[in-house]
């Protein structure tokens, strides 16, 4: 008994080895586009992204990058490949790609889809369905498309021109965009006879802080996301000199940096948790620090101080973290004197919530006790079979890339449903396998791997950056830096494929492998085998590739965890038992392939 | 073959020895031998043994002759001294180096062509003199560099890749070493590092002439069905007499073996060799019996591997000659040139 031989034809097996792609909610084929960037083929790199994540220019500036912590470079070196900023390179340096986009459907198929909210979820659904002939009608209260990408992300991180370009690629597919039209009744919408309704209206309500002084000092206390959208729409142009931002998420980072540009001289962030446990992405905290914004931690707001209707400061209680037996954190009073910070304005960025005041509770859509719709996690269908939810509207606030991933799945559901198919049967991804061997020492990919620390993205100098709310802070990689950074990619989609009948068990691969990934040994149960490998395989999230059928009766066991995909095993193999094959894995989107 | 250098990355859990080095620190340039060459496995075994013994790389001299095997010192212990000498002349170069500096660890790397043909005489004399060294022959039975002609260790009746049958008798280097008085004789197989690594460690710890014959299949020219030095043939005919555990500078391992199943040999440096018997009748301290056993098993077509013979009380050439305890490069002028009075004394002694 022991481990079963690995079925490498299972679509997920090698997909999981491509950590970045597996971690990406939209499963963008990351190594493939990074190689194209290295080759200077920016338009090709852009199109791979566009197909998968719809907003490469936007995401290349704003993505929460779930791919990067997953990057294998983290496990073998330190910092991940700058995947997100390489995506931006593709968007920045591409040629005009308009003629490579899908064409408007020659004929409509007679099915009408209503999409509520013109954010990333709805636009992704429209992008997938409009070219298939669906009549997609997108409604939004704002006159321009983009949703939270337009209203809540400051322009110094994401210029309007980028949003315009990428939303127009979709609207130009023959999508009927009705800007400035706020939907205020689901029942009325359903009564219009749409074949499907997509709710992509986000999580639009910023959480408030109900502590003493809130009402009295209301003029100087602003809800973060509302304040940011007012700044976006040019309704707000200034703020007091001394600003406190309450909250530790990315919205708090956007708030403090915006405040710094609108006249805030003494801007500070105050957060309940410890600095390390803040929800904000590490790089967003770094950006705030670079702009001279201190972050004070373990302080819980207790009271707003005010004088004749004007905010004068905030009192905080000092807390400390305590962990119970299960490792859960609790913040308890530290027993130290309260801390008071004086200020002119406060921005409250302590979270946001869903709100569906426009969906009547008798519209056939079930909601739970927290006011969230009941949505199937795979099909995104609500309890009203015609109504689908995507993006923040589906499961609460997440990130753009999640909204895009939801959008693709919603489109598949709708396409299947309107073709009379069972929407719970989901399409498998498509894999294209290409052998990489060119000659005795030649591979079609850059197999030589060296230690190489992450390259920093150039920034606009602080003085210029802080003088304008719209001047983009990050300048992006230039072509040379992009080439260097792209060279750090380990090509994890070029897979080591083993053929036991060819193996003569000469140990050449075992000896050459720089990471001690390969072991020939007696089979055993996984727990035991993991301990017996050449290097113990302790990262349980990474699979062991097992092959049997060797002459000695042993098995080949390869720990995928820290494989560099350097191809040395294949290069040193005298019989070709090891081979390097590129697995280009693409998710199946709406259209004939999904049905 | 590869022209790529092995990436500097290593496994995050790679252990360090008492010197703070990892196994990777004992590596050297990437091998340019044919893919799958048994010699590369032997290099890997030498690297592993050196790492486990926590040898200081600058205390090793690796000396070789000419041939595929003699190229390999380039591929291990990159921070050690190396001398790629003349064909078949490794033993005399090594003997000279050893006499000049007795404090280094000497690794003599040779092949079946280098040791059993052109250097056969050198091989014999270094062993019979008891030079303190680890003499490793990477034995593949063919001349690999000249495309696979039979070497002197190829078995009579075995076939070349093209089908030609060898009509000459084979030289058994392990049997020769026993006959010549080597005080540590072993045979192993490049495809079995579990056996090979402890043998190399024990040989390095041995004071005196240690000889290891390592069957090392030539994947390019001698790994076909008619060969008696192919991976498959050696695996099928391997007769391992014992399995070796070696403890250096520590108490012997306390694992409970069945009584009579274990032989312990304590060497000069205090290292304890614990041999688990795989063949109950085999006694590795009996040189004559070892010679007999080897001949009998060879006649039956078996390849005897393991630690064949060890003399824990062995002495070396320096002991025989009663040479000065200091390496020559550490002697100063007064010791090297003791003056005319000392010369007069010596001359008087010769009259």
Query: For residue range B123-137, what is the model confidence (pLDDT) as tens digits?
Result: 999 999 999 999 999
Answer whether residue B250 shows pLDDT above 70.
Answer: no
* pLDDT value of residue A59: 98
- The C-alpha atoms of residue A48 and residue A38 are separated, in whole angstroms, by 14
The per-residue pLDDT of chain B, averaged, comes to 92
Tell me what the mean pLDDT of segment B206-219 comes to: 97
Do A491 and A533 reside in the same domain of the chain? Answer: yes
Contact A356, A368 (CB under 8 A): no
Do A155 and A261 reside in the same domain of the chain? Answer: no
CATH assignment at residue B138:
3.40.50.970
Q: How confident is the model at residue A544 (pLDDT cuts 50, 70, 90)?
A: very high
> Is there a contact between A562 and B11 if contact means CB atoms under 8 Å apart?
yes
* pLDDT value of residue A422: 97
Answer whether residue B257 shows pLDDT above 80.
Answer: no
In the 3-class helix/strand/coil scheme, how is chain B assigned residue by residue?
CCCCCCCCCCCCCCCECCCCCEHHHHECCCCCCCCCCHHHHHHHHHHHHHHHCCCCHHHEEEEECCCHHHHHHHHECCCCEEEECCCCCHHHHHHHHHHHCCCCEEEEEEEHHHHHHHCHHHHHHHHHHCCCEEEEEEECCEECCCCCEECCCCCCCCECCCCCECCCCCCCHHHHHHHHCCCEEEEEECCCHHHHHHHHHHHHHCCCEEEEEEECCCCCCCCCCCCCCCHHHHHHHEEECEEEEEECCCCCCCCCCCCCCEEEEECCCCCEEEEEECCCCCCCCCHHHHHHHHHHHHHCCCEEEEEEEECCCCCCHHHHHCCCCCCHHHCCHHHHCCCHHHHHHHHHHHC
> Is there a contact between A450 and B35 if contact means CB atoms under 8 Å apart?
no
The better pLDDT of the pair B2, A502 is held by: A502
* pLDDT value of residue A142: 95
Using CB atoms within 10 Å of the CB of residue B26, give its burial: 0 to 12 exposed, 13 to 18 middle, 19+ buried.
Answer: buried
Nearest to B44 among A511, A574, A575 (CB): A511
Answer whether residue B37 shows pLDDT above 60.
Answer: yes
Nearest to B219 among A448, A551, A574 (CB): A574
Q: Does A508 touch chain B (CB under 8 A)?
A: yes
> Is there a contact between A508 and B36 if contact means CB atoms under 8 Å apart?
yes
Q: How confident is the model at residue B248 (pLDDT cuts 50, 70, 90)?
A: low
> Is there a contact between B232 and A77 if contact means CB atoms under 8 Å apart?
no
Calculate the CA dihedral of residues A362, A366, A370, A372 and round it to 10 degrees: -110
> Is there a contact between A574 and B193 if contact means CB atoms under 8 Å apart?
no
> Is there a contact between B10 and A75 if contact means CB atoms under 8 Å apart?
no
Instruction: With beta carbons under 8 A apart, name residues in chain B contacting A522.
Output: none
Using CB atoms within 10 Å of the CB of residue B250, give its burial: 0 to 12 exposed, 13 to 18 middle, 19+ buried.
Answer: exposed
Instruction: With beta carbons under 8 A apart, name residues in chain B contacting A562.
Output: 9, 11-12
Query: For residue range A296-306, what is the model confidence (pLDDT) as tens digits?
Result: 999 999 999 99
Tell me what the mean pLDDT of segment A482-488 comes to: 97
Instruction: With beta carbons under 8 A apart, name residues in chain A contacting B190.
Output: 507
**A64 in a structural domain:** no
Contact A274, A321 (CB under 8 A): yes
> Is there a contact between B231 and A568 if contact means CB atoms under 8 Å apart?
no
**B330 in a structural domain:** no
Residues of the domain holding B136: 23-321
Contact B338, B231 (CB under 8 A): no
- A428 CB neighbour count, 10 Å cutoff: 13
Do A273 and A300 reside in the same domain of the chain? Answer: yes
Nearest to A568 among B2, B11, B34 (CB): B2
* pLDDT value of residue B336: 86
Distance from CA of B131 to the nearest CA of A (A): 31
Do A580 and A433 reside in the same domain of the chain? Answer: yes
**B341 in a structural domain:** no
Q: Does B16 touch chain A (CB under 8 A)?
A: no
Contact B141, B150 (CB under 8 A): yes
Three-state DSSP state, A515: coil
- The C-alpha atoms of residue B74 and residue B64 are separated, in whole angstroms, by 10
Answer whether residue B275 shows pLDDT above 90.
Answer: no
Q: Where are the beta strands (DSSP E) in A291-374?
A: 295-296, 299-307, 310-323, 329-333, 339-342, 345-348, 352-353
> Is there a contact between A552 and B235 if contact means CB atoms under 8 Å apart?
yes
CATH assignment at residue A320:
3.50.50.60
> Is there a contact between B231 and A575 if contact means CB atoms under 8 Å apart?
no
* pLDDT value of residue A193: 95
* pLDDT value of residue B279: 82
* pLDDT value of residue B2: 58
Do A156 and A222 reside in the same domain of the chain? Answer: no
Q: Does A533 touch chain B (CB under 8 A)?
A: no
Mutate to test the interface with A, among B36, B39, B224 (most CBs of A within 10 A): B36
Tell me what the mean pLDDT of segment A391-406 comes to: 96
Query: For residue range B318-351, what is the model confidence (pLDDT) as tens digits?
Result: 999 999 999 999 999 988 889 999 999 999 999 8
Q: Does A205 touch chain B (CB under 8 A)?
A: no
Q: Does A439 touch chain B (CB under 8 A)?
A: no
Instruction: With beta carbons under 8 A apart, name residues in chain A contacting B34.
Output: 574
Strand A339-342, strand A310-323: pairing:
antiparallel
Residues of the domain holding A253: 207-351
**A12 in a structural domain:** yes
Q: How confident is the model at residue B5 (pLDDT cuts 50, 70, 90)?
A: confident
**A423 in a structural domain:** no
**A342 in a structural domain:** yes
Q: Does A318 touch chain B (CB under 8 A)?
A: no
Task: State the pTM of this model.
Answer: 0.92
Instruction: With beta carbons under 8 A apart, name residues in chain A contacting B5.
Output: 448
Answer whether residue A481 shows pLDDT above 60.
Answer: yes
Q: Does A538 touch chain B (CB under 8 A)?
A: yes
Rounded percentage of chain A residues whose pLDDT exceeds 70: 100
> Is there a contact between B235 and A571 if contact means CB atoms under 8 Å apart?
no
Q: Does B8 touch chain A (CB under 8 A)?
A: yes
Q: Does A308 touch chain B (CB under 8 A)?
A: no
Nearest to A448 among B4, B40, B231 (CB): B4
Instruction: With beta carbons under 8 A apart, name residues in chain B contacting A575.
Output: 36
Instruction: With beta carbons under 8 A apart, name residues in chain B contacting A551.
Output: 232, 235
* pLDDT value of residue B255: 53
Do A463 and A584 reside in the same domain of the chain? Answer: yes
Q: Pick from A365, A361, A358, A352: which is nearest to A392 by CA?
A: A352
Answer whether residue B266 shows pLDDT above 90.
Answer: no
CA-nearest residue of chain B to A514? Answer: B10
Structural domain count, chain B: 1
**B72 in a structural domain:** yes
Question: Chain B 171-210, CB below 8 Å of chain A: which residues?
Answer: 190-191, 193
> Is there a contact between B40 and A511 if contact means CB atoms under 8 Å apart?
yes
CA-nearest residue of chain B to A73? Answer: B9
Instruction: With beta carbons under 8 A apart, name residues in chain A contacting B7.
Output: 448-451, 514, 564, 566
Answer whether residue B41 shows pLDDT above 80.
Answer: yes
Do A236 and A345 reside in the same domain of the chain? Answer: yes
* pLDDT value of residue A382: 98
Q: Does B217 touch chain A (CB under 8 A)?
A: yes
Choice among A310-324, B107-121, B211-225, B268-282 with the minimum mean pLDDT: B268-282
CA-nearest residue of chain A to B30? Answer: A512
Contacts of A91 (CB under 8 A, 6+ apart): A46, A49, A56, A57, A60, A162
Distance from CA of B215 to the nearest CA of A (A): 12
- The C-alpha atoms of residue B204 and residue B210 are separated, in whole angstroms, by 8
Do A315 and A387 reside in the same domain of the chain? Answer: no
Structural domain count, chain A: 3
Do A237 and A384 reside in the same domain of the chain? Answer: no
Instruction: With beta carbons under 8 A apart, name residues in chain B contacting A539.
Output: none
Answer whether residue B53 shows pLDDT above 70.
Answer: yes
How many CA atoms within 13 Å lie on the side-chain side of A11?
11
> Is there a contact between A516 and B10 if contact means CB atoms under 8 Å apart?
yes
* pLDDT value of residue A1: 75
Instruction: With beta carbons under 8 A apart, name residues in chain A contacting B43.
Output: 511
Highest mean pLDDT among A327-331, A586-590, B275-279: A586-590
Q: Does A573 touch chain B (CB under 8 A)?
A: yes
Choice among A127-136, A434-443, A528-537 with the minimum mean pLDDT: A434-443
Distances in Å between the Cα of A556 and the Cα atoms of A302, A544, A549, B39, B131 are 62, 10, 9, 21, 42
Q: How confident is the model at residue B268 (pLDDT cuts 50, 70, 90)?
A: confident
Query: For residue range A101-127, what is the model confidence (pLDDT) as tens digits?
Result: 999 999 999 999 999 999 999 999 999
Nearest to B2 among A441, A515, A536 (CB): A441
Do A592 and A472 reside in the same domain of the chain? Answer: yes
Q: Where are the beta strands (DSSP E) in A227-284?
A: 242-246, 266-270
> Is there a contact between B7 and A77 if contact means CB atoms under 8 Å apart?
no
Contacts of B216 (CB under 8 A, 6+ apart): B37, B38, B39, B41, B42, B69, B138, B139, B140, B189, B190, B229
Distance from CA of B171 to the nearest CA of A (A): 25
Do A582 and A451 reside in the same domain of the chain? Answer: yes
Instruction: With beta carbons under 8 A apart, name residues in chain B contacting A75.
Output: 12
Q: Does B1 touch chain A (CB under 8 A)?
A: yes
Answer whether residue B290 shows pLDDT above 70.
Answer: yes
Contact A411, A129 (CB under 8 A): yes
- A329 CB neighbour count, 10 Å cutoff: 11
Do A189 and A311 reside in the same domain of the chain? Answer: no
Q: Does A571 touch chain B (CB under 8 A)?
A: yes
Answer whether residue B249 shows pLDDT above 70.
Answer: no
Choice among A125-139, B218-232, B276-290 with the minimum mean pLDDT: B276-290
The per-residue pLDDT of chain A, averaged, comes to 96
**A303 in a structural domain:** yes
**B346 in a structural domain:** no
Q: How confident is the model at residue B280 (pLDDT cuts 50, 70, 90)?
A: confident
Contacts of B345 (CB under 8 A, 6+ apart): none
């Amino acid at each position: 008994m022991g481990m079963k031989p690995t079925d490498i034809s299972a679509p997920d097996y090698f997909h999981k080895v491509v950590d970045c792609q597996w971690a990406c909610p939209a499963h963008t084929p990351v190594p493939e586009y990074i190689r194209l960037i290295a080759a200077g083929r920016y338009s090709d790199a852009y199109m791979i992204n566009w197909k998968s994540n719809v907003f490469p220019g936007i995401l290349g500036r704003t993505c929460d990058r779930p791919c990067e912590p997953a990057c294998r470079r983290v496990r073998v070196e330190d910092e991940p490949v700058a995947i997100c900023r390489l995506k931006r390179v593709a968007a920045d340096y591409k040629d005009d790609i308009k003629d490579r986009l899908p064409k408007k459907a020659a004929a409509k198929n007679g099915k009408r889809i209503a999409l509520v909210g013109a954010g990333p979820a709805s636009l992704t659904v429209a992008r997938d369905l409009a070219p298939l002939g669906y009549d997609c009608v997108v409604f939004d209260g704002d006159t321009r498309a983009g949703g939270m990408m337009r209203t809540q992300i400051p322009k110094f991180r994401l210029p309007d021109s980028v949003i315009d370009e990428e939303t127009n690629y979709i609207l130009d597919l023959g999508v009927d965009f009705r800007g400035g039209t706020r939907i205020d009744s689901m029942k009325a919408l359903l009564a219009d006879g749409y074949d499907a309704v997509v709710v992509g209206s986000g999580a639009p309500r910023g959480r408030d802080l109900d502590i003493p002084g809130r009402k009295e000092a209301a003029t100087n206390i602003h809800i973060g996301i509302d304040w940011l959208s007012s700044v976006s729409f040019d309704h707000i142009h200034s703020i007091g000199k001394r600003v406190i931002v309450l909250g530790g998420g990315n919205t708090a980072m956007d708030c403090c940096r915006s405040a710094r540009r609108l006249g805030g001289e003494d801007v500070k962030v105050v957060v309940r948790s410890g600095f390390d446990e803040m929800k904000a992405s590490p790089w967003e905290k770094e950006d705030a620090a670079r702009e001279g914004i201190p972050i004070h931690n373990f302080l819980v707001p207790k009271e707003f101080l005010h004088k004749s209707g004007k905010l004068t400061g905030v009192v905080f209680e000092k807390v400390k973290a305590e962990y119970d037996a299960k490792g859960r954190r609790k913040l308890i009073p530290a027993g130290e004197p309260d801390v008071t910070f004086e200020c002119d304005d406060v921005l409250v960025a302590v979270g946001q919530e869903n709100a569906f005041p426009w969906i009547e509770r008798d519209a056939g859509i079930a909601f739970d006790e927290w006011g969230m719709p009941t949505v199937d996690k795979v099909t995104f269908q609500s309890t009203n079979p015609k109504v689908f939810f995507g993006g923040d509207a589906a499961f609460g606030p997440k990130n753009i890339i999640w909204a895009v991933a939801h959008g693709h799945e919603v489109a598949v559901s709708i396409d299947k449903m309107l073709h009379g198919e069972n929407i719970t049967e989901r399409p498998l991804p498509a894999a294209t396998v290409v052998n990489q061997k060119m000659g005795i020492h030649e591979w079609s990919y850059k197999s030589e791997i060296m230690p190489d620390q992450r390259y920093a993205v150039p920034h606009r100098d602080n003085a210029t950056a802080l003088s304008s709310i719209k001047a983009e802070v990050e300048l992006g990689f230039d072509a040379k830096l992009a080439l260097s950074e792209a060279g750090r990619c380990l090509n994890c989609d070029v897979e080591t494929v083993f053929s036991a009948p060819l193996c003569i068990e000469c140990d050449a691969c075992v000896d050459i492998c720089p990471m001690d990934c390969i072991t020939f040994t007696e089979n055993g149960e996984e727990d035991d085998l993991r301990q017996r490998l050449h290097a113990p395989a302790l990262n349980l999230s990474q699979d062991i590739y097992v092959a049997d059928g060797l002459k000695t009766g042993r098995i080949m066991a390869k720990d995928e965890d820290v494989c560099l995909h350097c191809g040395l095993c294949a290069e040193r193999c005298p019989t070709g038992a090891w081979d390097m094959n590129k697995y280009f894995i693409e998710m199946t989107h709406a259209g004939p392939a999904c049905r | 073959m590869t022209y790529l250098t092995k990436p500097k990355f290593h496994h995050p859990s790679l252990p360090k020895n008492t010197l703070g080095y990892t196994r990777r620190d004992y590596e050297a340039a990437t091998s340019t031998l044919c893919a799958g060459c048994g010699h590369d496995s032997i290099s890997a075994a030498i690297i592993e043994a050196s790492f486990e013994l926590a040898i200081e790389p600058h205390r090793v001299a690796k000396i070789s002759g000419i041939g595929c095997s003699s190229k390999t010192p380039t591929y291990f212990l990159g921070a050690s001294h190396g001398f790629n000498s003349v064909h078949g002349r490794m033993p005399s170069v090594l003997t000279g180096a050893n006499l000049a500096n007795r404090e280094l660890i000497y690794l003599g790397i040779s092949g079946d062509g280098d040791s059993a043909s052109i250097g056969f005489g050198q091989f014999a004399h270094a062993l019979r003199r008891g030079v303190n060294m680890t003499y490793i022959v990477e034995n593949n039975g063919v001349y690999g560099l000249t495309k696979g002609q039979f070497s002197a260790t190829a078995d009579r009746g075995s076939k070349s890749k093209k089908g030609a049958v060898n009509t000459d008798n084979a030289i058994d280097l392990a049997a020769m070493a026993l006959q010549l008085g080597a005080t540590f004789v072993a045979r192993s197989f490049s495809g079995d590092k579990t056996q090979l690594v402890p043998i190399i460690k024990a040989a390095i710890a041995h004071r005196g002439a240690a000889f290891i014959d390592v069957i090392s299949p030539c994947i390019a020219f001698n790994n076909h069905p008619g060969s008696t030095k192919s991976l498959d043939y050696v695996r099928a005919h391997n007769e391992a007499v014992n399995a070796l555990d070696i403890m250096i500078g520590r108490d012997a391992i306390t694992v409970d073996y069945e009584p009579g199943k274990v032989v312990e040999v304590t060497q000069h440096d205090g290292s304890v060799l614990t041999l688990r018997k795989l063949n109950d009748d085999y006694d590795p301290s009996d040189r004559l019996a070892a010679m007999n056993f080897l001949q009998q098993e060879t006649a039956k077509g078996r390849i005897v591997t393991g630690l064949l013979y060890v003399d824990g009380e062995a002495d070396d050439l320096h002991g025989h000659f009663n040479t000065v305890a200091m390496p020559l490069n550490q002697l100063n002028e007064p010791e090297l040139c003791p003056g005319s009075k000392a010369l007069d004394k010596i001359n008087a002694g010769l009259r």
